[in-house]
Structure 1
Amino acid sequence: MFRLSIRGETVDSFRVTEDSNGFTINSDELFQNVTFHIVGLENVESCKIKILFEDGSQTIDSKDIIYNTGVFDARNWIEVNESSSDPVSKARIFIDSYELSTNPKIEHWLSKKNTNSVPYLSTPSPSRSANPDNPPIIIVSVDSLRHDRLSRFKPLLNEMDGAVTPSEPRTQGTSTWPAHASLFTGVHPLEHGCTNDAIAPQIDPSLTTLAELLEKHGYRNSAVVSSGNLSPQLGYGRGFHRYQVQDIDWKRRERDVRTVFRTFKDWMSADIKSGATRGSYFLHIFDVHYPYIPPDHYAGSTDFDFSQYDTYVELAKNRDYVDLLKHDPLNIDEITINQITGLYDRCVDFVVDQLLDLILYLKRVDVYDDSLIIIAGDHGEDFYERNFIYHHSLYNENIKPGMIVKPPASGGFSVPDEVDYIDILPTIASLLGSEKAVDQSSGSPFTERTPEQPRITERLLDTYNVSIELHGEKLIFTYTGNKEPSKLVEGGPSYIEQSSDDGYRAVESRDELTEAEYELETHVRSFVKDRSFSVDSSDKNISSEVEDRLEELGYK
């Protein structure tokens, strides 16, 4: 939520610039009131916000707001609504100071809940009057949704008239950070820089994000996300008018897909009432993600002992990619796997029911037909297929997410079977007639994709791994060593994984590659050479707090 207003009327023509701890608003119209959110408060004892209302270089009014949230407070965001004594054209809003919890037990508990360690402000962008011919755009990211689970989406698909489920979608990132950054920018992780091995993953500020593109076309952009991994600080909030982080609450379920969709409905209903019917909405839901805990009424009569999670995780813990690749099948019993996947499926069923309710709402408010709707996993999930769990591999279980695309009734494009995450931005840009954004992207509009384009997904962690597909052939190349990717590929791959009857088999690289291997490896070399963003994988001096958080989420 972010608003500027004077005497209750919303001010639309304003520009926002960000800095490290806040933002500055410059408005063409005078305003008196600002409304915004402070987010990431669950680890915060107290927080002081300062607001300076200015006209030109003169300070007209100032506000110091102090919040004492208290530890274990259920709120992870607070709405702030403050007014100046007189109308102004400028406001500077920033976090003046804060104090964090110092209780080790609380910090450990918070790390398991995937909360943010510091408070920050939800940063806005200006709203404009959109072209009435532009379709509403709704993108729902279902974190960790496998493609093979679309078989459980039948009730939803029956309700989604005109929807298409691409048979061979691909993500360009193996986990939340890089996948969403590729969705938002239309480029690969090596280009946007938001990777799991980066010290401070952040979207390259020189790239135009999807929300920034839409803002230039008059869209009011809104987002609700279920994980601090998509914090606006990392660049995901750029271009959004409203950006709210609702870290999922696994235990009490006070925040989950239902609260995300409830917030969306409140926003859309308010937008429709105000006449702003051409908005964009990004909704990120975490309910299918590990630890796969469904609400009680979806858990059924399962007698699963959640302590088995320790056994499930321990086998693959602290093993690097090469170790898992070369290791004999890990000894995980089938009963445990079936129970884990059973819980995952119940989480999927819960999300499907909520998505169905969302689609019915869109039909009730007469928005469904006109809208472009995309429902997609940011990646899939591994369940010990070939020794991998969570989302670390480049096998199809992980890089082939579930995807549903419902084009707007006005048309504009068809949906092919092969859709890459990096194709979404250029497809929307093409729909709006924005050629510059299409040029930025490494992907292609849906209508322009050709079989000659290799499909590439990267993994940047302990090793640099590249999955490449072309002409029905897929290989996975693994490059080892503490060098940036451009240096690693010069020495050739250490391992090559080839498709076989039982899935994949890994072979150590050899001096002479087969013709198919040589062709695809040449494409990889060219791909890396053309990507300018440098990721130095030799520098891994990240904080113990970040280390623990990544480990808890399965990103290490």
Structure 2
Amino acid sequence: MKNVVLITVDCLRSDRCGFNDHHRDTTPNLDQLATNSLIYDRCYSTGPYTTESFPGMMAGQHSYNGTQYGDNVGYKALSSDSSTLATELTANGYETAAVISNPHLTTNRNFDGGFDTFTNHRSDADDDHDDDSGSNFGSKMYALREKMRNQPTRYNPLSLLYAVHRYRQLMTEWPTTDGADIVDEVTDTLQQLGEKQSPFFLWTHFMDVHAPISPKRADEAGLASVPTFRSLHWDASRAGRFFEPNYDTLYDSAVRYVDNQIGRVVETLRQMGELEETVIIVTGDHGEVLFDRNEVYGHPPHYHYDDLLQVPLLVYDADGPSGRIQTPVSLAWLHEIIAESANVELSGFPSESGLESIRSEGEPNPVISDTLDETGHTISIRDGAHKVILHNSFQDNQIKWEYRSEPSCFNYQQDRAERVKIGDIPESLLKEGERRLKEEGRLPEIQGEFSAQTEQRLQDLGYKM
């Protein structure tokens, strides 16, 4: 059995990686690793939102068969009896550890299940306390962003106020944890794991690409070396949903910054003498909309186009195959990739590819992504050529995309931007999507509620609470 290191990056677009032919030098460390890796050219998240993508990665679950946290079906969790990557690897004798940073991935929502050690740098120790310090300010800043989106121009007093607020955070505590600090702890954790006799599984998650992007980190990476207030102005345009082409450069520089940190992880494994005995998996939880469609930045929950659903997937295994895989795959099948690459048996996951080998070409089961919240349920389902998006509204909502009223179908391989709808929808995909489309916004529930501090952290990242 081989060690497994899973590296996930929030908001990482597949088309912004150098090994996927991006024109900027965003991922030199990953590019080098990619020469001896499997690259999955058509990998898709289980949902366009962190709270829906990680149950897929960790437990093979989608929203339609998942669990909600508290009374809001929009926020997913893992049930205590879920089979996860960590629980199954632990059962196979692995030492398991996680060093992450995301206020969604908390112990209260059972994302620590199966891990011997679990550190989340953006999580309260107890999510159920009633200290409301700072929560009012967080809601005010969320309201400010909403007002910015109603301004006639990006140059307005509200954008200036937003930039000043971000500058203050830059001088005190930025909303996302620095990936360099994450890797410092990852390095220590790897060295501790390496001293044991068992194989190990380490999961680490980076938030540096998630908006708001730190001007300091973007500057350090070198692709967006501009004065701080210029970076903050670009970010204010994003927050106000004004098209800002320079934000692309800021995003790419953040990707380069994370690539530098991943390079440090790989070098640590090399110095430990464990690189050849370790399967390294690098992917994103979802992509990021960069004004691909007018007035949209970020990752709206019911946005099911592939600028948000498609993610990079790189699998390094010194003894395994390398090259590029064209077969469409789901991150819900990550357990199969780990099982085959690390030579370990993993079971109990509800989603399976149907492939004899997930490390070679084949005809898999349909790839499904979905979003379920109090406003409705959106499902996208695809085979090797076609993708169908369906939506069922539970209440009057503001979803403005074409599939709100009727299913949309695209030949997503020929029409990569998904601009031309196909009238002849494949019946098998349509029926499979309709079969899974829920009629109400309710799932089995894990009791709990967000603390004021967690709500503020989520609001500061742009989430509505």
Query: How far apart are 1:453 and its partner, in Å?
Result: 1.6
SS of residue matched to 1:348: helix
Q: Which residue of the partner structure matches residue 4 of structure 2? A: 137
Query: How far apart are 1:476 and its partner, in Å?
Result: 1.7
Query: How far apart are 1:528 and its partner, in Å?
Result: 4.2
SS of residue matched to 1:495: coil
Residue type at the aligned position of 2:309: I
In structure 2, how many angstroms separate the alpha carbons of the residues matched to 1:433 and 1:279?
12
Q: Which residue of the partner structure matches residue 167 of structure 1? A: 41
Q: Which residue of the partner structure matches residue 358 of structure 2? A: 446
1:261 aligns with 2:183: yes
Contact 2:38 2:321 in 1 (8 A): no
In structure 2, how many angstroms separate the alpha carbons of the residues matched to 1:200 and 1:215?
27
In structure 2, how many angstroms separate the alpha carbons of the residues matched to 1:429 and 1:534?
33
| Aligned counterpart for 1:553 among listed residues 449, 453, 461 | 461
Q: What is the 5 A alignment of 1:100-499?
A: 134-151=1-18, 152-159=26-33, 162-194=36-68, 198=73, 201-247=76-122, 251=171, 255-273=177-195, 275-276=196-197, 278-294=199-215, 295=217, 296-298=219-221, 299-302=224-227, 304=230, 306-307=232-233, 309-315=235-241, 332-333=242-243, 336=244, 338-387=245-294, 388-392=296-300, 393-407=303-317, 409=319, 411=320, 416-417=325-326, 418-429=328-339, 431-434=342-345, 436-437=347-348, 440-444=350-354, 446-447=358-359, 450-451=362-363, 453-461=365-373, 462-482=375-395, 494-499=405-410
Structure 2 gaps, min length 5: 19-25, 124-168, 397-402
Residue type at the aligned position of 1:228: P
In structure 2, how many angstroms separate the alpha carbons of the residues matched to 1:502 and 1:469?
13
Q: Which residue of the partner structure matches residue 7 of structure 1? A: none
In structure 2, how many angstroms separate the alpha carbons of the residues matched to 1:536 and 1:310?
38
Deviations 1:277-303 (A, max 9, x none): 511100011011111224243341256
Residue type at the aligned position of 1:526: R
In structure 2, how many angstroms separate the alpha carbons of the residues matched to 1:207 and 1:442?
15
Scaled by the length of structure 2, what TM-score is found? 0.72
Deviations 1:43-89 (A, max 9, x none): xxxxxxxxxxxxxxxxxxxxxxxxxxxxxxxxxxxxxxxxxxxxxxx
Contact 2:66 2:78 in 1 (8 A): yes
Deviations 1:171-193 (A, max 9, x none): 10211121111111012122222
Contact 2:378 2:390 in 1 (8 A): yes
Residue type at the aligned position of 1:497: S
Once the two structures are aligned, what percentage of the paired residues are identical?
A: 20
Query: How far apart are 1:358 and its partner, in Å?
Result: 1.7
Query: How far apart are 1:493 and its partner, in Å?
Result: 6.5
Query: How far apart are 1:144 and its partner, in Å?
Result: 0.6
Contact 2:64 2:436 in 1 (8 A): no
Residue type at the aligned position of 1:397: D
In 2 relative to 1, CA 146–460 (structure 1 residues): closer, same or farther, beyond 3 Å? same
Contact 1:190 1:533 in 2 (8 A): no
Structure 1 gaps, min length 5: 1-133, 316-331, 484-491, 508-512
Query: How far apart are 1:451 and its partner, in Å?
Result: 2.2
SS of residue matched to 2:46: coil
In 2 relative to 1, CA 452–256 (structure 1 residues): closer, same or farther, beyond 3 Å? closer
Contact 1:203 1:234 in 2 (8 A): yes
In structure 1, how many angstroms separate the alpha carbons of the residues matched to 2:360 and 2:279?
18
In 2 relative to 1, CA 433–141 (structure 1 residues): closer, same or farther, beyond 3 Å? closer
Deviations 1:280-329 (A, max 9, x none): 100011011111224243341256252554443334xxxxxxxxxxxxxx
Q: What is the 5 A alignment of 1:72-111?
A: none
SS of residue matched to 1:516: coil
In 2 relative to 1, CA 354–502 (structure 1 residues): closer, same or farther, beyond 3 Å? closer
Query: How far apart are 1:245 and its partner, in Å?
Result: 1.2
Residue type at the aligned position of 2:79: D
Scaled by the length of structure 1, what TM-score is found? 0.61
Residue type at the aligned position of 1:297: E
SS of residue matched to 1:342: helix
Query: How far apart are 1:449 and its partner, in Å?
Result: 7.5
Q: Which residue of the partner structure matches residue 71 of structure 1? A: none
Note the aligned Cα RMSD (angstroms): 3.6
Q: Which residue of the partner structure matches residue 25 of structure 1? A: none
Contact 1:478 1:495 in 2 (8 A): yes
Residue type at the aligned position of 1:554: G
Residue type at the aligned position of 2:225: G
In structure 2, how many angstroms separate the alpha carbons of the residues matched to 1:369 and 1:253?
38
In structure 2, how many angstroms separate the alpha carbons of the residues matched to 1:219 and 1:442?
23
In 2 relative to 1, CA 434–358 (structure 1 residues): closer, same or farther, beyond 3 Å? closer
Contact 2:37 2:322 in 1 (8 A): no
Q: Which has the larger radius of gyration?
A: 1
In structure 2, how many angstroms separate the alpha carbons of the residues matched to 1:355 and 1:452?
30
In structure 1, how many angstroms separate the alpha carbons of the residues matched to 2:60 and 2:444?
22
Name the structure, 1 or 2, with higher relative contact order (CA <8 Å, separation 6+): 2
In 2 relative to 1, CA 404–197 (structure 1 residues): closer, same or farther, beyond 3 Å? farther
Query: How far apart are 1:415 and its partner, in Å?
Result: 7.2
In structure 2, how many angstroms separate the alpha carbons of the residues matched to 1:362 and 1:278?
13
In structure 2, how many angstroms separate the alpha carbons of the residues matched to 1:217 and 1:446?
21
Query: How far apart are 1:226 and its partner, in Å?
Result: 1.1
Residue type at the aligned position of 2:255: V
In structure 2, how many angstroms separate the alpha carbons of the residues matched to 1:475 and 1:192?
21
Contact 1:186 1:426 in 2 (8 A): no
In structure 2, how many angstroms separate the alpha carbons of the residues matched to 1:502 and 1:210?
32
Query: How far apart are 1:520 and its partner, in Å?
Result: 2.2
In structure 2, how many angstroms separate the alpha carbons of the residues matched to 1:271 and 1:542?
32
In structure 2, how many angstroms separate the alpha carbons of the residues matched to 1:536 and 1:207?
13
Query: How far apart are 1:551 and its partner, in Å?
Result: 4.6
